[in-house]
Amino acid sequence: MYELTTDEERFTRAEGVKINYSHLTHFAQAISIQPQGLLQQSGISIQPVECFEYNENKAFFKTASGDFPFDIFAATFYLLSRYEEYLPHTKDSYGRYAHENSLAFKEGFLQLPLINIWAEDLVKTIKERLASFTIHHSLFTIHNKPFSFLPTYDIDIAYSYNHKGLLRNIGGFFRQPSAARIKVLLGVEQDPFDTYEWLHQLHAAHRQVQPIYFFLVAEKNSLYDKNILPYHAAMQELIKTHAAKYAIGLHPSWQSGDDEKVFVKEKKLLEAIAGKPITASRQHFIRFNLPQGYQRLIDAGITDDYSMGYGSINGFRASVASSFCWYNLQSEQETTLRIHPFCFMEANSFYEQHFTALQALEEMKYYYDVCKKVNGEFISIWHNHFVGTDKMFEGWKEVYEKFMAIRN
């Protein structure tokens, strides 16, 4: 006859909701989830992943028995840890993890916060099983974090013509002659990328919105770093003004991705200009690789990163619409670096997906609604130049204003 060990006795006699995460099936009044095995492993190896339909969505790591048809804990860990990004893979033209490699893209759930959906299914299963348990419902409480919306902005080209100096403007004029450039430099028209007061008024009209601005402060320009240099008085004033009103973070330059010392220097420079510590960041061009990219953020004192998404397509890179702490899979260590995933960036809609402004509005509304449905957080990325007067982005300013007005 089977005898209970001390731990098993404690588990069986404990009050409240119990989850039996083991291959044993004899526990009474417990939700049984059978382990697939990933969480009991060490090291990194290719995992056999086969998706199947579950409650009209995808799931994987199917199990033979239990109250849940798959190992939700292992599947969640696989997606949140970005396990597949540690495996051999093809990089895109910018040296990033290509979204085409991902399970979410291949299996068609990139547009869903699948982990949030699974969590809701687990809660539903627990509640259904409670009805047949002799446990008082007061012992079971679900704390739902309310839905939130966080607009964020990347300021990597602060101005189109102003404050760029004579040589850059002359060179720009010969490459692409423009009457608008002359009018701006003569003070007749406003710079097409100078949208800061307009954004301020937009936020003032929606007081519940608390945005974050990420500033690129590269000390020299390059192919991918084209901002006004941080030593320019106009750039410093722009940073100081926003630091006084809003939360700001670092937008590490492309150059800093090749030199950690450059990254540290840019962080210190932004702190000196803003007059306060900088603990948030988002990578320029969403350029980072795991685990090195996140580890250097920790080493530099960054506590919150907003880079978890793709710079090539919109969707949920980690299949979640909630923040989480990064787990370093290589060293098998929990960290305190909090990851805030985004799912919509207007540049993806425009450059990569070739959407019109109205199509992008519908896409943004979709991601807003799907995040709201699961009580997640909808984080969007916009750039100041998309809501300006440049003819290339005609209609995008109106679309963003419309979204802010109708989202409730």
For the chain, domain boundaries = 6-80+111-139, 148-158+193-406
Class of domain 148-158+193-406: alpha beta
Give pLDDT tens digits for 214-266.
Answer: 999 999 999 999 999 999 999 999 999 999 999 999 999 999 999 999 999 99
- Percentage of residues in the chain having pLDDT higher than 90: 76
Distance CA 366, CA 199 (A): 23
* pTM given for the model: 0.91
- Percentage of residues in the chain having pLDDT higher than 70: 85
Cα 78 to Cα 98, 115, 345, distances in angstroms: 17, 11, 25
Among 228, 33, 3, 214, which Cα is nearest to 119's?
33
Cα 7 to Cα 3, 22, 140, 157, distances in angstroms: 12, 13, 22, 60
Bridge partners for 91 per DSSP: 97
Among 127, 140, 141, 123, which Cα is nearest to 374's?
123
Confidence of residue 357 (pLDDT cuts 50, 70, 90): very high
Give pLDDT tens digits for 262-311.
Answer: 999 999 999 999 999 999 999 999 999 999 999 999 999 999 999 999 99
Task: State residue 19's pLDDT score.
Answer: 85
CA angle 330, 268, 299 (to 5 degrees): 15
Task: State residue 137's pLDDT score.
Answer: 44
Q: Would you give the end-to-end CA distance of the chain in angstroms?
A: 61
Q: Is the pLDDT of residue 163 over 50?
A: yes
Q: What is the mean pLDDT of residues 18-37?
A: 83
Distance CA 286, CA 244 (A): 26
Scanning 191-321, the segments in alpha helix (DSSP H) are 196-205, 233-245, 260-274, 292-299
Task: State residue 128's pLDDT score.
Answer: 80
Task: Indicate the pairing of strand 333-339 with strand 304-305.
Answer: parallel
Q: Is the pLDDT of residue 178 over 70?
A: no
Tokens of 375: 């009580």
CB 402 within 8 A of CB 364: no
Q: What is the mean pLDDT of residues 320-339?
A: 97
